[in-house]
Chain A
Amino acid sequence: MEKTETKQNVVILFAGDSGDGIQLIGAQFTNTNALFGNDVSTFPNFPAEIRAPQGTIPGVSGFQLHFGSVALFTPGDICDVLVVMNAAALKTDLKNLKKGGTIIVNTGGFGPQNLKLANYPVEVNPLLDHSLDQYRVIEIDVTKLTKKALEGSGLGTKEIDRSKNMFVLGFIYWMYNRSLANTIDFIERKFRTQPEFIESNIKILKAGYNYGDITETPMTRYEVKAAPMPKGTYRSITGNHATAMGLISAANKAGLTLFYGSYPITPASDILHELAKHKNFGVKTFQAEDEIAAVTSAIGAAFGGSLGVTASSGPGIALKTEAIGLALMLELPLVICNVQRGGPSTGLPTKTEQADLLQAVYGRNGEAPVPVIAAYSPSDCFYTVYEACRIAIEHMTPVFFLSDGFIANGSEPWQFPHAENLEKINVKYAHNELKEGEKFLPYKRNEKMTRPWAIPGTKGLEHRIGGLEKENETGNISYDPDNHEFMVKLRAARVEKIADFIPLQTIDQGKDKGKLLVIGWGSTYGAIKTAVREALAEEVEVSHIHIKYLNPLPKNIGAILENFEQILIPEMNNGQLIKIIREKFLVDAKGLNKIKGMPFTAGEIKRKISDIINVK
């Protein structure tokens, strides 16, 4: 007996032990839905340990997916469906399930030992004590069924146990009526060199699917139709992959070699992994001995005429600080990617936060201004890092590109661009155009206040640059007091000048005048957009701007602010953009701050909007 219900959108959370392959099935279900034509938004959430003690609460790994037949901007505030592989996963994530939601339980993960590891009191089993009565619970002994299906396969107990994620995935495909083709294709590619695993994984995937058909328990299947997305060709993309592709594209369009100096760090390492695969674009990746060598090797490459890029997360960025100051003094192009995570110090390596904005804008010795731009979604990482490269090259300056753990690992469908439509990046190495007896001036500036990029190998342009204070134009070391003041102001003016070469701020939603303006930056985009959209639907007078260019700010920000009675700045930190906005525009902006290593839900922002509007 089965019936089919139609849903507009579904939030599903897969949860299990970090060794259970949760991220893999999450990604597979995401891709399959995206290929089907749903809009999707994901939120992988995993522990810092690769293998925390098995079966325990710290070892729970989660993957949340929001898919639907309508446009989606967040991975969802609360889940409709919770898939739990063991007791610890239920204990951890039940709070994220809405009342009346569905729980798919692997009963094999609820033995006495599992319950004990999950800290349930002795003799308490949530599957038996009616504590889940307000939910719809589908119990499947996945562990046992997997074992049975692979009996005689020749695989060891460990390998068989590892395959149970595929059973669950198969069952979910049945439940949402999705084709197995994409995942079968994935399995065949992944185990190209181990054919015995191809057969067993496909077998288990199908066993899970068939279970839905043959089980005698009445089950509901769901239909989630394709979303009315703009016409075109799409792919699925995570923020880190988009960042890697943006870097390759920028180097390619600029006609430069991409040099990427990096040291492994969560959550930035995937950019290195992705770039290392694309050596046929002439990409040179360099896994340095430490964060300092990662950035300084990129500076060396930039001196030689390459696009020098380095990436890290907060603690690594802290180590690169001195070198970023050097790049700024040298006036060489350099892109520094910071995939932010919870801080300070080692902080929360696998959790997201936006707490490095002030570090990017101000965090160097001396007065050392650096342009800063931030991506707002996984696919936007592509365009934003591309823009960071453009600014770095065209203005001969280090540029900060900010992403964070949420969008770096999250994914969404992306209507990717054609290479020919990407904005041109103008690179002009200096040529020797000196007249007889004329000396080359390495710091003579053009109308952008930008010095020439005179690379080694250019006859007649031999020159020296360094971190000591210099005289303008000649670049000679200078300790002259007036010169120093002049140069400090000049370096500030150089960054301010970039405001002439970036787009004006646009209003994302709402009118250009009204009661409340919500200002966001970075990965809070989806939550703010959803909240403001809902508020607008209720005829609340609210608007949303999302600032990508954080230093320098677009020239019209001040004018936009003047048209609103109140300003709200939600941030995943203790208040950073708000300091900049207050200082620059002397406005009484209000903050909404969440510092839990987790992204905002749209509901949290919506409630704050309502509070402000209703008090007024």
Chain B
Amino acid sequence: MSSVEMDKMTAKELVTDQEVRWCPGCGDYSILKQVQTVIPELGLKRENIVFISGIGCSSRFPYYMETFGMHSIHGRATAIASGLKATRPDLSVWIVTGDGDSLSIGGNHLIHLLRRNFDVNILLFNNEIYGLTKGQYSPTSPEGLVTKSTPAGSLDHPFNPLALCMGADATFVARTMDRDPIHLRELLKRAHAHKGTSLLEIYQNCNVFNDGAFEVFTEKATKKVNTLFVAHDKPLVFGQNLEKGIILDGWTPRLVNVADHSINDLWIHDEKDRLKASILVRFFDDSKHTDALPRPFGVFYQENRNTYEDQMSAQVAEAIKSKGKGNLDELLSGRSTWKIS
């Protein structure tokens, strides 16, 4: 056994001694499992990994990861991670948050983190409900949802989280789901590989308060006709036998039968195309409608842009280069002094 292999962590080593306390059947279990499976493959040292969360069911996550971790306050994990990454660019920082945590109380910090582009990974567990407070509608709940706080149906128009993130100039925007471990693992790797803020929305079933919210996308019987798995340079096709496709008619996406078109007419996915990604994340139809566009999954957009922490370090380095390393006595005396003798 080589020393490299000896040092390599295992998924088991990422498990803490804390009892996992999510409800039985919660989608969070799957996500935890996949994260613990993927991280050893990323070439990271365990001590250099930090998980930061806010408040909510998903935010218990750090307690179950044998890494450095902080379970902070509601909505602020993104801001805490910003300060950590600004001062410790060497760390691999992961933010675990939910739809209430990141899009309601923490909405402000989320958009600002995205535009600044710190090199961190955001795992946004979206279950379209407030679980920890026992079942109120969330900012991603569909209009009309009947919950404890909306007995006559929710009036709120929901956020389309990824459209919001595109609007905030996020540099990595992707979606996956708890029930597709292979895709989830692949996208976790992609999120990690991106230098900049990676926003990975994970559809996660809350089997207690909002069971089946994503059923049409996750269940075998309906998944193929309602989901669209995108891959770079590949045409947008889906359906039982990939018989359906999407073409772009001007800026309007249209559903077509692949058989009626040349493959070159179909929309070819380009992760680098911001405009097309903005359209793709707008595939947000209610699946119950006929002619609904399928819900896309995969990496929609990826852009290489300077990270905040690199630019911040560069400014410090430049200041040291041009002015010399700070001298306290010079600082204390300032430019004009006088002597009394």
Contacts and interface: CB of A to CB of B under 8 A. Distances in A.
A284 B84 contact: no
B270 to A, nearest CB: 31
Interface centre among B49, B87, B112 (most CB of A within 10 A): B87
A460 B315 CA distance: 33
Contact of B83 (A232, A286, A462, A464): A286
A419 B340 CA distance: 20
A424 B72 CA distance: 32
A230 B47 CA distance: 53
A290 interface: yes
A365 to B, nearest CB: 11
A281 interface: yes
Contact of A284 (B18, B86, B338): B86
Bin chain A's interface residue count: 35 or more
Contacts of A330: 70
A457 B279 CA distance: 41
Contact of A300 (B49, B67, B83): B83
A322 interface: yes
A169 B79 CA distance: 47
Nearest to A439: B17
B54 to A, nearest CB: 10
A289 B62 CA distance: 25
A296 B79 contact: yes
A71 B67 CA distance: 58
Interface residues of B, number: 60
B3 to A, nearest CB: 15
Interface stretch (A30-38, A483-491, A521-529): A30-38
B249 interface: no
Given A300-B82, A464-B69, A231 B341 contact: yes
Contacts of A245: 331-332
A456 B331 contact: no
Given A463-B68, A467-B72, A477 B81 contact: no
Contacts of B52: 300
A169 to B, nearest CB: 17
A146 interface: no
B220 interface: no
B63 interface: yes
A303 interface: yes
Interface string A21-33: 0000000000100
Interface string A243-283: 00100110011000101010000000000000000111111
B332 A462 contact: no
Contacts of B87: 257, 259, 284, 300-301, 304-306
B338 A300 contact: no
A300 B90 contact: no
B45 interface: yes
A465 to B, nearest CB: 6
A602 interface: no
A214 B121 CA distance: 73
Nearest to A477: B63
B9 to A, nearest CB: 11
A399 interface: no
A464 B16 contact: yes
A386 to B, nearest CB: 11
B112 A416 contact: no
Contacts of B84: 300-301, 303-304, 456
Contact of B63 (A231, A288, A418, A464): A464
Contacts of B338: 34-37, 233-235
Interface of A is mostly: mixed
A329 to B, nearest CB: 9
A306 B301 CA distance: 34
Given A34-B338, A234-B338, A297 B82 contact: yes
A301 B331 CA distance: 24
B326 interface: yes
Interface string B317-333: 01110111110110111
Interface string A151-191: 00000000000000000000000000000001000000000
Contacts of B334: 235, 237, 416
Contacts of B72: 296, 299, 326, 466-467
B76 A296 contact: yes
Interface in A288-315: 288-290, 292-293, 296-306, 308
Nearest to A256: B87
B108 interface: yes
Contacts of A232: 339-340
Contacts of A35: 336, 338
B208 interface: no
Interface string A320-331: 001100100010
Interface string B87-105: 1101100000000000000
A457 B90 CA distance: 9
B51 to A, nearest CB: 8
B337 interface: yes
Given A252-B328, A464-B62, A233 B47 contact: no
A459 B82 CA distance: 23
A281 B319 CA distance: 9
Contacts of B73: 296, 322-323, 326, 467
Given A278-B331, A304-B83, A457-B47, 4 more contacts: A229-B340, A248-B328, A293-B76, A300-B52
Can you list the 6 inter-chain pairs with the closest CB atoms, starting with the nearest? A297-B83, A466-B71, A300-B83, A281-B326, A279-B319, A419-B328
Interface of B: 16, 18, 45-50, 52, 55, 62-63, 65-73, 76, 79-88, 90-91, 108-109, 112, 312, 315-316, 318-320, 322-326, 328-329, 331-334, 336-341
5 contacts: A37-B340, A233-B339, A297-B80, A456-B91, A465-B71
Interface of A: 31, 34-37, 182, 226, 229-237, 245, 248-249, 252-253, 257, 259, 261, 278-284, 286, 288-290, 292-293, 296-306, 308, 322-323, 326, 330, 416-419, 456-468, 476-477
